[in-house]
Amino acid sequence: MKNSEMAEASHMAKECFEFQLAGKTLEVETGELARQANGACLVRCGGTAVLSVAVMSDVDSQQDFFPLQVLYEERAYAAGKIPGGFKKREGRPSLEATLAARMIDRTLRPLFPKELHREVQIVNTVLSYDASVSPSLLALLGSSLALTLSDIPFEGPVAATRLAYDAESGLSNDWSHQLSEISSLDLTLAGTASSLTMLEGSAKEVAEELVGDAFSIGHEVIKALVAFQKQIQLACGKEKCSLESSDVTASQLESWLTQEAFDTLVDLLRRIPLQAAKLDLDKLEQVLLDRLAETELTWTQEDFQKLFQALVAKATRRLIVDEGLRPDRRGLKEIRPLDVQIDKLPSVHGSGLFTRGQTQVLSSLTLAPMSEAPLVDGLAPAFHQRFTHHYNFPAYSVGETGRYGAPGRRELGHGALGERALAEVLPSLEDFPYAIRLVAEVLESNGSSSQAAICAGSLALMAGGVPISAPVAGIAMGLVVEGDKQVILTDIQGAEDHFGDMDFKVAGTQSGITALQMDIKVSGLSVELLTQALAQAKQARLEILATMAETIAQPRPSLAATAPRIARLVIPVEKLNALLEKVGKPLIALLPKRVLR
């Protein structure tokens, strides 16, 4: 339904649209707010409202990557709160805000044309909050629509939905901020009308077949939301700006390099694994530079290096697709060598060291009373978070120097992924009244460190005597697409992640999936392909779990000697008065005033 009216004191028209979603009315307004941006819209559903704005600079960036920045801003007034702290003003984004921004970024980034080099910013501001509707889902829809309505080149629109599952209702779309505790699946899907571009979620050991069904059901909702956005675009969208044609000089250099070196590169990487071929690649590079100096082509060292690396990637991909030859010569479904250790750290409450090829993670467990659990205070009511999983990725893990300080978006995201994967197997607070913290230290990395952190965390929990219901392992699946050929790779390493088209992380137990996350570099993947990747990931997960079981198969029967002990005393109700009369007043006198308050 569409309704137009003239905006006050403006030549621009305010346009309103509605869409029925999961029993709620989704409302979109455009043309009235943030009119100097390239594109903007206000998205409302229930009592939640998000303003999404897209802006693009006028000139190309000099950086060698697409400078896209996605922001997700939570305003305390949206939930009727005044921010805490001395300044009583919003400061650093919350963890939830950071994860929402990452989710939107991962959904949108593959859909910008490669020729676009201008800086693009997408800003989502939560203006009103209602627990019955997730603001992050509205923000993703608003981000897509703001881009679609703008003149910014964008190969969307995209949309997202969230799937829940319980035995009584089956699979259903659920846009609430917090899902019911009886739901055994919390899966967010995003995509275009033809394919999926992003997956993220957690589950209570559900089967791969159920997740595959969720892909199909969710994609139908996405198609409807994409059609809704196209309807709005037809009514009030701007014409897309034209991009300048690619650099002619770089194009000529690329053609020359391909003709001179591509077949040689393929033959070289066929004979020598990529990691061992560095000296040979350096020699070939120098030969090409000498030949290039004799030509009349105009070029820079920077252009040459960039195009040469792209040619190495192209040759690597060709060998994977045409010959099934991976950079380290593993089979397509083969996992790198595994090493599993526990009790590496004598004084902590539990530790696990997990090594997979050149990726190594040390996880440490800390147990404490619930009084030490961190307080999470966002738009939703504040609560003490019983389980936290932190992930540290120092620069030395990849043999480099780098920045040290507060964790970045990537570290926060990987920590949250591990948290979702392991939280599903923890004992209840009633059965195990401890706050639990795991810290993953990435000591060495060549791909899939987030999944190695999950394996190491599972080992630390069992070594520390935490009665988890089952061990958890994680695996990262990759993909290379060339024309109509598609090859799924198990346990991708760094080069396959860098040169490939997908990073699909799947964690779970022997019984089923506990967490998954997907990033892609292509415009989308089919439901059938993702279902196939899930099945292949299950085989790898079971293999890793079997190797872990050789070291420790189940939690130890008791806590570590260094861990605190919490004793419970149950007092009958009828005895409370007698107890308080004898010890109540002396105890109250000893308590600090802040505790009494």
Q: Would you list the domain boundaries of the chain?
A: 2-236, 248-323, 338-551
Position 584 scores a pLDDT of 63
The dihedral sign for the CA sequence 377, 132, 435, 346: negative
Measure the CA–CA gap between 58 and 158, rounded to whole angstroms: 25
How would you list the strands of the sheet with 351-356, edge to edge?
A: 338-342, 351-356, 359-368, 435-444, 387-392
- For residue 327, whether the previous peptide bond is cis, meaning omega lies within 30 degrees of 0, is no
CB atoms within 10 A of CB 223: 15
Block residue for tokens 């993947």: 525
User: In residues, how long is the chain?
Assistant: 597
Token pair in block for residue 351:
């530790």
Position 245 scores a pLDDT of 60
The backbone torsions φ and ψ at residue 455, rounded to the nearest 5 degrees and listed phi first, read -60, -45
The CA-based angle 3-4-9, given to 5 degrees, is 145
Contact 174, 162 (CB under 8 A): yes
Question: Which SS3 state, helix, strand or coil, does residue 281 take?
Answer: helix
3-state secondary structure 416-438: HHHHHHHHCCCCCCCCCCCEEEE
2-236: CATH topology is: Ribosomal Protein S5; domain 2 (3.30.230)
Ranges assigned E (strand) in 310-370: 338-342, 351-356, 359-368
Give the pTM. Answer: 0.89
CB atoms within 10 A of CB 273: 15
Position 585 scores a pLDDT of 63
Position 24 scores a pLDDT of 86
Measure the CA–CA gap between 20 and 376, rounded to whole angstroms: 33
Residue 20 forms beta bridges with which residues?
A: 25
Position 394 scores a pLDDT of 94
Position 6 scores a pLDDT of 41
Token pair in block for residue 396:
């030395």
- Give start and end residues of each alpha helix (H) in 272-300: 278-293
Give, for all 597 residues of the chain, the pLDDT tens digit: 444 444 334 446 899 999 998 788 999 999 999 999 999 999 999 999 999 999 999 988 877 788 999 999 999 999 999 887 777 888 889 999 999 999 999 999 999 998 888 999 999 999 999 988 999 999 999 999 999 999 999 998 999 999 999 888 889 888 887 776 778 999 999 999 999 999 999 999 999 999 999 999 999 999 999 999 999 999 999 999 987 765 656 788 888 999 988 999 999 999 998 888 989 999 998 999 888 888 888 778 888 888 999 999 999 999 999 999 999 999 999 999 999 999 999 999 999 999 999 999 999 999 999 999 998 888 888 899 999 999 999 999 999 998 898 899 999 999 999 999 999 999 999 999 999 999 999 999 998 999 999 999 999 999 999 999 999 999 999 999 988 899 999 999 999 998 999 999 999 999 999 999 998 888 888 889 999 999 999 999 999 999 999 999 999 999 999 999 988 777 787 777 777 777 666 666 655 544 433
- Give percent helix, percent strand, percent coil of the chain, each to the nearest 5: 35, 25, 35
Per CATH, 2-236 and 338-551 having the same topology is answered yes
Q: From the options 3.40.1390.10, 3.30.230.70, 2.20.25.10, 3.40.50.1980, give the CATH code of 338-551.
A: 3.30.230.70
Position 96 scores a pLDDT of 93
Position 246 scores a pLDDT of 56
Find the radius of gyration of the CA atoms of the chain: 27
For helices 135-149 and 208-236, the axis angle rounded to 10 degrees is 40
Position 7 scores a pLDDT of 39
